Amino acid sequence: MTVTEKLDALRREMQQHQIDAWIVPTADPHHSEYVAPCWQTRAWMSGFTGSAGTLVVTQHRAGLWTDSRYFIQAASELAGSGIELLKLHMPDVPDYPEWLLKELPECAIVGFDGQVLSMAQMEQLQNVLAPKQVQFTVHHDLVAPLWIDRPPIPTTPVFLLDGRFAGESRRSKLGRLRHKLREIGADLYLLCSLDEIAWVFNIRGRDIAYNPVTISYATISEHEARLFINPEKVSEEVKSVLEEDGVMFSAYEEIDSYIAQLPDKSSVAIDPQKTSLALRKSIPSTCSVIEMPSLVTPLKAVKNVTEVQGIRHAHIRDGVALVKWLSWLDQQQLDKDTFTEFTITDSLEAFRRQGEYFQGLSFSPIAGYQANGAMCHYRAMPDTALTIKPEGLLLVDSGAQYLDGTTDITRTLTLSPPTREQRRDFTLVLKGHIALATAKFPKGTTGAQLDTFARAALWQHGFNYGHGTGHGVGHFLNVHEGPHSIHPRNTVPFEPGMLCSNEPGLYREGEYGIRIENLLLTVPAEETEFGVFCQFETVTQCPIDLQLVDAGLLSPGEKAWLNAYHETVYTTLAPFLADNEQAWLREATRPI
């Protein structure tokens, strides 16, 4: 079926059920950022393959909302589909609830699959659409009968994360959560988020590409911890170890009935951002519900000593692979049409696979050549990928999963002598990167406050970028995690132990994209009479392309940072490299 045919079929289903508008979010029942193929409904319906977006269909219009990372990609993929692209956070562009308020008549009926829309999203819809007395129907999945070849829910095996990597036992983590439940007066805590379940129970899986999680639910009470998971995924060995720690098991599908049978007057704590509307409706009316931010997210975000050491070690191995790849790339004859955006990172993955504890990539690599580099989260496809030539800029964003840490790095490379404009743009991005990397700040400083460090140099020239400066990173978990991020709207204070990316950029549509990304670990700096101060430790180990640096635009302090960083990269990685690779790295990290 074409996208147009799918929209026509959906509208027929809507007519049959007397539904005026149908919402298709990018979501699964666990409100994951990246979802398994069986829940990629929005991508199947619209043809837009980006990781974020919401499709809304009425009888006469269809719109898709996505953020600035995907504006260029979405415009291309939606062309000719009959779906209008609406650019989130742009002037005069309403969000989809406001758009629906304008489009719908009084007392209209809005439908969606209640399994994949969260309580928080439902509350927003209700508040915005209240003036038109809109009704909601959440008990049908109108797309299900259309998607006849829908993939099944994954059933990959669960495996245990050894304590020498986790640094804290599941008994200890459950104990900390039970203490918090007593503090808030809750009898039961409902866990829906897959990475939170993986962290609490020290388990990992491979149900979602690049995210080492297993599809499951969990409940925690004073005397019971229960995993709701497909029993086919749990070996007797894994089950035995978990049961020794007091973990009980139920089938994945039994979560609704279990919740529905909770004793009268039970108090249930849930995170409305991560709990589906359908699951919330399963809680008996005789129970009290405590809606609050996740108890697990802030605990998971602050890495323990073992995790921190693992993260450092993982980045050394990752840096070795990156330098091997960069050295190899430098020797290739790109004028012979050997590589495309789709294949250029294959050898990088091969080098990473040689590293100890390698478990796979942390996301699909992004290799954006020339104008494609201006698409923030561009994904090359075999039939449309550009051939890499010995000219222009190549942006490569990649990362890996290791048992002891998760990596994420972006480097912008020049494949020919850069233009003056390219060197200026790159150096301004680098200045912002350095400003954030060297920031010292009072404990409690928020991501919104830190964000300005990375943008100031660009702002001085009237430049900016449309994405956040940094996101939290898990420990052998999701490459994106919260609650912290470096973003103009993030108000979460930074604490020692938090891991975050530092990735300012500059994108010139139709020309090139520039981004420099390292990961930063928040560490204590000093305590003075004015309070406790923190700073960042850069854990990523990889040279920055000096051919793109205009040293005349850097201050003495910025030059000193770059030289010191490069010396650290060289002394850390050189012992693990062959002679020719060492020689390449020595040149790539030469002082400026």
- The confidence score (pLDDT) of residue 376 equals 81
Per-residue model confidence as pLDDT tens digits over 293-346: 999 999 999 999 999 999 999 999 999 999 999 999 999 988 876 899 999 999
Per-residue model confidence as pLDDT tens digits over 181-227: 999 999 999 999 999 999 999 999 999 999 999 999 999 999 999 99
- The confidence score (pLDDT) of residue 167 equals 98
The residues, any chain, with a CB within 8 Å of residue 54's CB and separated by 6 or more, are 23, 24, 25, 26, 42, 64, 65, 66, 96
Pick the range with the lowest mean pLDDT from 67-71, 387-391, 511-515.
67-71
Split at pLDDT 50, 70, 90, the class of 382 is confident
Per-residue model confidence as pLDDT tens digits over 557-591: 999 999 999 999 999 999 999 999 999 999 999 99
Helix or strand or coil: residue 446? strand
Per-residue model confidence as pLDDT tens digits over 489-505: 999 999 999 999 999 99
d(CA 99, CA 82): 17
d(CA 464, CA 480): 22
Split at pLDDT 50, 70, 90, the class of 86 is very high
| Whether pLDDT at 377 is above 80 | no
| Cβ 363 vs Cβ 479: under 8 Å | yes
CATH superfamily of this structure's domain 302-587: Creatinase/methionine aminopeptidase superfamily (3.90.230.10)
Per-residue model confidence as pLDDT tens digits over 87-130: 998 999 999 999 999 999 999 999 999 999 889 889 999 999 99
d(CA 190, CA 216): 11
Q: What percent of the chain has pLDDT over 90?
A: 93
Task: Point out which residues pair with 395 in neighbouring strands.
Answer: 368, 412
Split at pLDDT 50, 70, 90, the class of 556 is very high
d(CA 38, CA 28): 9
Mean pLDDT of 231-252: 98
Split at pLDDT 50, 70, 90, the class of 70 is confident
Edge-to-edge strand ranges of the sheet holding 409-414: 366-369, 393-398, 409-414
Per-residue model confidence as pLDDT tens digits over 436-478: 999 999 999 999 999 999 999 999 999 999 999 999 999 999 9
Match 């650290």 to its residue by tokens.
Answer: 568
Strands 188-191 and 21-24, bridge-based pairing: unpaired
- The confidence score (pLDDT) of residue 512 equals 98
- The confidence score (pLDDT) of residue 381 equals 80
The residues, any chain, with a CB within 8 Å of residue 390's CB and separated by 6 or more, are 333, 334, 335, 415, 416
- Measured in whole angstroms, the distance separating CA 107 from the mean position of its chain's CA atoms is 37
DSSP classification of residue 246: T
- The confidence score (pLDDT) of residue 139 equals 78
Q: What's the CATH class of domain 3-137?
A: alpha beta
| Cβ 85 vs Cβ 54: under 8 Å | no
Task: Point out which residues pair with 55 in neighbouring strands.
Answer: 24, 64
d(CA 157, CA 234): 6
Mean pLDDT of 387-406: 97
| Whether pLDDT at 69 is above 80 | no
d(CA 336, CA 473): 38
CATH architecture for the domain at 159-295: 3-Layer(aba) Sandwich (3.40)
| Cβ 73 vs Cβ 377: under 8 Å | yes
Nearest CA-CA partner of 141 in 116, 113, 171:
113
Mean pLDDT of 357-378: 93
Mean pLDDT of 278-299: 96
- The confidence score (pLDDT) of residue 378 equals 81
- The confidence score (pLDDT) of residue 383 equals 82
Per-residue model confidence as pLDDT tens digits over 141-159: 999 999 999 999 999 999 9
Domain spans of the chain, in order of start: 3-137, 159-295, 302-587
Q: Mean pLDDT for the chain?
A: 96
Equal CATH topology for 159-295 and 302-587: no
Split at pLDDT 50, 70, 90, the class of 140 is confident
